[in-house]
């Protein structure tokens, strides 16, 4: 991979303290971070105590980096990058790093704290603390065991923000959540007895845990921070933090504390706020670097090109975030730029039940195996529980699948990977299947107060964005029963129903936009919704004019007459005949019955070629033999009734051929298309009169009357006033493509150069020949071996003009 200029500059920047790198998904942030590590190691580690740290938030990303660069270094490309086992270089994740400091502190102080796991233990202690404090705060309705989960979250947030005093908590903006969960009796407003009660609750809860030698995860982080602030044992000359937007304030302060300030030292924060998906993150909520002690004025760089995904996937993903005011107005938002790499549009499917969903995944993955290795395919869901069924189902169908273990992921195993949206952050796979994008799952607003809905929805929208931007080549998205509201935010033009189809997923057409309503019986019918969606697709995506579409098309089956829901006809040799029949069913109502019905209609009509059945969620296309066809055949020019003459114009001035389309009823309506480039010429047309006939054989009498006109682009002629046209009689010029019935375009002139095709008058009769002067004689040469050349003295020949083009008579 060759870095672009901006990326290379960042890698090779002379280290001068702190720097923020903002970048969009897939812009090479991680790639830059890793190369930067190598650059600093080689050039800016002079002293024996100089050390470099590359830290990630996500553990899976850490493994992914090691996996990737292991591979690269095996290939000899980045031998110096595989530095994890070298003394002065550490690549690790923040939790591991902080846990080590916490352990050191515990050992130093001979303390035996354990993490309070599982969550039930913490809830139990929380309930105990609530009971003990209830009487002290009788008016705080939030102090109830039923809110213990919510209170745990709030306390975790206080610690993550390194809030060390009640006064600080009373005044801090509560970004990420403005109130209690759904049904909460009180808002957590500033300077309130509620905030005081929560703070005291935290102290009590921590003490109760400590009594059992327990601490929670956030306290462990605080202890780690204290350890490095107090002891100065661990320090790094250079620190690079990937995914900075996800770190809590405590974690960021920890990193600041282990950074040793040297004149050639550096601290690079790499971040993308659009991918900030954690409630407790600090910078990701739009807070400034100044809040953790770094002034970034003039110290920010941006990477805006997404190299990972195709233009089609990027457009869909950007369409999603463009809907979110909170994301767009964030000061650190970077507008993504597209690179020109094209592929399939993202595929979206909705299923009415789990069985259909699982069947689709199995079928599709079986097909995908023709193009991709299993390990390059990753199934992603919001929650682990949603992946379990799928994993089991695939395994039963002999498709190896496994949930990637966060602690020790095996990226090389030849099996489909299953991951949650959170743990896939920072990673990429050739094919991503984002499953269960169901309303209620994403977003899950069940526990959320109305006021907080927008905030939580932003977080979950970002989660979907993260998932979508993991795909290199192909992105599938699925929902079961009810699609996530976010899918409605993605313009349906960016999505397809199947990999090799142009068809967009079902979308309800508003009744005022229904087409062919004069043929519709019940505008409010359920089946009509699906039919109208398909009509819209046939017209807008497959380009059939609605004049070729008929509803309730009659089909005679022996003595019985049936009616097909929709028939598309085409013209063949100017005769209209049915091309395909369609049966539409109400949304999600299944296709079996419709397919049987349509098969009998196909048999009954001798001309129709294909049948299509759809219920909006599924669509089958088959021919008369019952063989399935990949896509609906698009409308082609020859399917339409002939309304134009189609001819070829050969331009002698540049020796190029053009398609010349003239309206049958109005010769002035002309379209000229360059045959090589297929581009339509956008030039003013000039009228050229057809003034008579010219012999291309024996001379015939020159006539001078206006019969007709042709219209030509201005660039084809030299001067309109000097241009005329003649209809060709005879066949003496056939070797250069001028035939009987063609119209030649002539520029009026009295002289000619050798080789010009001229109109010459001999004894008042016009003939067309190639002009060859021979001293005082002129040879007029036919371009047909059957005709002898004519030799005449120059004074006996009058040149009337030079042929500059020919409009062929034959229809193409």
Ligand X SMILES: Nc1ncnc2c1ncn2[C@@H]1O[C@H](COP(=O)(O)OP(=O)(O)OP(=O)(O)O)[C@@H](O)[C@H]1O
- Residue numbers at the binding site for ligand X (CB under 6 A): 1-4, 7, 23, 25-31, 272, 275, 307-308, 426, 428, 469
Structure tokens at 637: 């020019």
CA separation, residue 356 to residues 361, 603, 687 (Å): 9, 29, 64
Q: For residue 801, give the 3-state DSSP assignment.
A: strand
- Taking the least distance from each CB to ligand X, the nearer of 27 and 614 is 27
Is 30 annotated in a binding site? The answer is: yes
How far is the C-alpha of 57 from the C-alpha of 252, rounded, in Å?
Answer: 11
Report in angstroms how near the CB of residue 34 gets to ligand X at its nearest: 8
Cβ-based neighbour number of residue 425 at 10 Å: 26
Nearest to 280 by CA among 246, 311, 331, 325: 246
- Catalytic annotation, pick one of 51, 425, 769, 808: 769
Task: Please say if 96 is a catalytic residue.
Answer: no
**Bridge partners for 129 per DSSP:** none
> Least Å distance between CB 32 and ligand X?
7
CB of 401 to ligand X, least distance (A): 23
Known binding residue 599? Answer is no
Q: Closest separation between CB of residue 69 and ligand X, Å?
A: 11
Helix (H) or strand (E) holding 254: helix 249-257
Is 29 among the annotated ligand-binding positions? yes
Could you tell me which residues come within 8 angstroms of residue 199 by beta carbon, excluding any fewer than 6 positions away?
158, 166, 169
Burial class (CB in 10 A: 0-12, 13-18, 19+), 407: exposed
Considering the complex, state which of residue 310 and residue 469 has its C-beta at the smaller distance from ligand X. 469
Strand 214-215, strand 114-115: pairing:
parallel
**Is 611 annotated as ligand-binding?**
no
Closest CB to ligand X among 26 and 713?
A: 26
Measured from the CB of residue 275, what is the shortest distance to ligand X in angstroms?
6
Count of CB atoms situated within 10 Å of the CB of 76: 7
To the question of whether residue 171 is assigned a binding role by annotation, the answer is no
Q: How far is CA 91 from CA 86, 94, 166, 422, 711, in A?
A: 10, 10, 37, 20, 73
Helix (H, G, I), strand (E, B) or coil at 657: strand
Judged by beta carbon, residue 27 or residue 89, the one nearer ligand X is 27
Q: Evaluate whether 209 touches 156 at the Cβ level (below 8 Å).
A: no
Residue 684 marked in a binding site: no
Residue among 56 and 251 whose Cβ is closer to ligand X:
56
Contact in structure between 447 and 180 (CB atoms under 8 Å): no
User: Which of 428, 438 has the CB closer to ligand X?
Assistant: 428
Q: Which of 159, 732, 802, 808 is catalytic?
A: 732
User: Residue 306's beta-bridge partner residues?
Assistant: 338
Q: Would you state the structure tokens that stand for residue 482, as one six-digit string?
A: 């009810």
Cα–Cα distance for residue pair 361/696, rounded to 1 Å: 69
If 0-12 CB within 10 Å is exposed, 13-18 middle and 19+ buried, where does residue 754 land?
exposed
Work out how close the CB of 36 gets to ligand X at its nearest, in angstroms, rounded to a whole number.
11
Question: How many angstroms separate the CA atoms of 325 and 680, rounded?
Answer: 42
Q: Residue 104: how many CB atoms within 10 A of its CB? A: 17
Minimum gap (Å) between residue 307 Cβ and ligand X:
3
Collapse the DSSP code of 572 into the 3-class scheme (helix H, G, I; strand E, B; otherwise coil) and give the result: strand
Find the shortest distance in angstroms from Cβ 768 to ligand X: 60
In degrees, rounded to 5, the angle at the alpha carbon of residue 302 between the alpha carbons of residues 301 and 308 is 140
From CA 180, how far away is CA 206, in angstroms rounded?
21
Q: Which lies closer to ligand X via its Cβ, residue 219 or residue 310?
A: 310
Q: Is the peptide bond before 443 cis (omega within 30 degrees of 0)?
A: yes
CB nearer to ligand X: pick between 2 and 719: 2
* Residue (of 272, 266, 352, 343) closest to 18 by Cα position: 266
Q: Are 219 and 210 in contact (CB under 8 A)?
A: no
| Sheet containing 347-351: order of strands | 347-351, 471-480, 429-434, 377-381, 416-420, 401-403
**Identity of the residue, 30 or 651, whose beta carbon is nearer to ligand X in the bound complex:** 30
- Minimum Å distance from CB 364 to ligand X? 24
Is 455 annotated for ligand binding? no
| Residue 3 or 115 with smaller CB distance to ligand X | 3
Alpha helices in 674-801 (DSSP H): none
Report residue 256 as tokens: 């600041």
Q: Is 732 a catalytic residue?
A: yes
Say whether 319 counts as a known binding-site residue. no
Q: Are 649 and 660 in contact (CB under 8 A)?
A: yes
Q: CA 283, CA 747: separation in Å to the nearest integer?
A: 74
Toward ligand X, which CB reaches closer, 84 or 88? 84
Which 3-state string (H, E, C) describes 681-736? CCCCEEEEEEEEEEECCCCEECCCCCCEEEEEEHHHCCCHHHEEEEEEECCCCHHH
CB of 428 to ligand X, least distance (A): 6
In the structure encoding, which two tokens stand for residue 735, read together?
């070797």
Find the shortest distance in angstroms from Cβ 373 to ligand X. 16
Distance CA 554, CA 188 (A): 68
Residues at the annotated binding site for ATP? 23-30
Catalytic positions, written as ranges: 732, 769
Residues at the annotated binding site? 23-30
């Amino acid at each position: 991979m060759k870095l672009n200029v901006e990326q290379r500059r960042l890698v090779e920047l002379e280290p001068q303290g702190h720097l923020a790198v903002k970048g969009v998904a897939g812009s090479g942030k991680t790639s830059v971070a890793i190369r930067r590590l190598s650059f600093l190691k080689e050039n800016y580690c002079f002293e024996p105590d100089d050390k470099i740290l590359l830290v990630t938030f996500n553990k899976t990303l850490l493994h992914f980096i090691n996996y990737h660069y292991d591979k690269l270094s095996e290939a000899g490309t980045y031998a110096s990058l595989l530095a994890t086992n070298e003394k002065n270089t550490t690549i690790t994740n923040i939790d591991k790093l902080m846990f080590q400091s916490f352990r050191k502190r515990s050992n130093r102080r001979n303390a035996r704290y354990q993490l309070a796991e599982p969550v039930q233990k913490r809830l139990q202690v929380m309930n105990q603390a609530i009971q003990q404090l209830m009487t002290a705060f009788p008016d705080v309705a939030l102090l109830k065991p039923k809110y213990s989960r919510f209170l745990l979250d709030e306390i975790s947030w206080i610690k993550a923000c390194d809030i060390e005093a009640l006064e600080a908590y009373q005044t801090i903006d509560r970004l990420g959540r403005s109130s209690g969960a759904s049904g909460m009796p009180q808002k957590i407003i500033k300077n309130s007895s509620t905030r005081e009660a929560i703070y005291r609750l935290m102290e009590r809860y921590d003490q109760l845990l400590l009594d059992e030698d327990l601490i929670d995860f956030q306290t462990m982080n605080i202890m780690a921070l204290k350890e490095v602030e107090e002891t100065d044992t661990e320090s790094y000359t250079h620190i690079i933090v990937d995914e900075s937007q996800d770190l809590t304030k405590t974690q960021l302060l920890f990193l600041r504390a282990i950074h040793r300030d040297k004149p050639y030292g550096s601290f690079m924060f790499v971040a993308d706020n659009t991918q900030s998906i954690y409630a407790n993150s600090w910078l990701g909520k739009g807070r400034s670097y100044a809040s953790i002690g770094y002034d970034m004025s003039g110290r920010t760089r941006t990477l805006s090109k997404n190299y990972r995904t195709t233009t089609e996937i990027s457009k869909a993903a950007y369409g999603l975030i463009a809907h979110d005011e909170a994301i767009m107005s964030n000061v650190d938002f970077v507008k993504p730029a597209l690179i020109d790499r094209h592929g399939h549009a993202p595929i979206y499917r909705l299923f009415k039940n789990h069985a259909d969903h699982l069947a689709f995944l199995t079928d599709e993955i079986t097909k995908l195996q023709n193009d991709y290795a299993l390990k390059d395919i990753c199934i992603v869901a919001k929650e682990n529980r949603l992946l379990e069924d799928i994993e089991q189902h695939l395994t039963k169908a002999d498709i190896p699948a496994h949930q990637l273990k966060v602690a020790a992921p095996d990226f090389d195993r030849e099996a489909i990977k299953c991951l949650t949206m959170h743990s896939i952050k920072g990673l990429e796979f050739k094919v991503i299947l984002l499953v269960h994008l169901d309303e209620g799952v994403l977003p899950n607003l069940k526990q959320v107060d109305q006021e907080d809905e927008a905030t939580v929805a932003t977080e979950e929208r970002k989660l979907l964005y993260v998932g979508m931007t993991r795909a290199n080549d192909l992105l599938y998205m699925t929902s079961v029963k009810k699609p996530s509201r976010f899918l409605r935010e993605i313009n349906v033009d960016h999505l397809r129903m199947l990999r090799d189809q142009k068809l967009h997923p079902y979308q309800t057409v508003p009744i005022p936009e229904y087409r062919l309503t004069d043929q519709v019986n019940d505008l409010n019918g359920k089946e009509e919704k699906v039919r109208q969606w398909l009509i819209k697709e046939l017209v807008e995506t497959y380009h059939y004019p609605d004049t070729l579409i008929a509803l309730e098309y009659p089909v005679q089956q022996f003595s019985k007459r049936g009616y097909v829901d929709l028939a598309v006809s085409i013209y063949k040799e100017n005769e209209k005949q049915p091309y395909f029949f369609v049966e539409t069913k109400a949304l999600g109502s299944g296709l079996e019955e419709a397919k049987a019905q349509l098969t009998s209609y196909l048999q009954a009509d001798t001309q129709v070629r294909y049948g299509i059945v759809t219920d909006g969620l599924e669509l089958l296309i088959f021919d008369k033999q019952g063989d399935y066809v990949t896509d609906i055949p698009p409308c082609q020019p020859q399917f339409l009734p002939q309304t134009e003459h189609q001819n070829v114009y050969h331009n002698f001035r540049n020796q190029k051929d053009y398609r010349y389309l003239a309206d049958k009823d109005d010769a002035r309506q002309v379209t000229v298309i360059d045959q090589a480039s297929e581009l339509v010429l956008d030039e003013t047309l000039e009228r050229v009169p057809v003034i008579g006939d010219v012999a291309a054989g024996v001379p015939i009498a020159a006539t001078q009357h206006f019969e007709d006109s042709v219209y030509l682009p201005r660039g084809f002629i030299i001067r309109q006033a000097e241009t005329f046209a003649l209809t060709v009689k005879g066949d003496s010029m056939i070797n250069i493509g001028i035939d009987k019935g063609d119209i030649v375009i002539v520029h009026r002139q009295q002289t000619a150069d050798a080789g010009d095709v001229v109109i010459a008058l001999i004894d008042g009769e016009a003939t067309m020949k190639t002009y060859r002067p021979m001293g005082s004689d002129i040879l007029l040469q036919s371009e047909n071996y059957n005709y002898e050349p004519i030799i005449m003295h120059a004074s006996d020949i009058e040149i009337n003009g030079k042929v500059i083009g020919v409009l062929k008579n034959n229809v193409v």
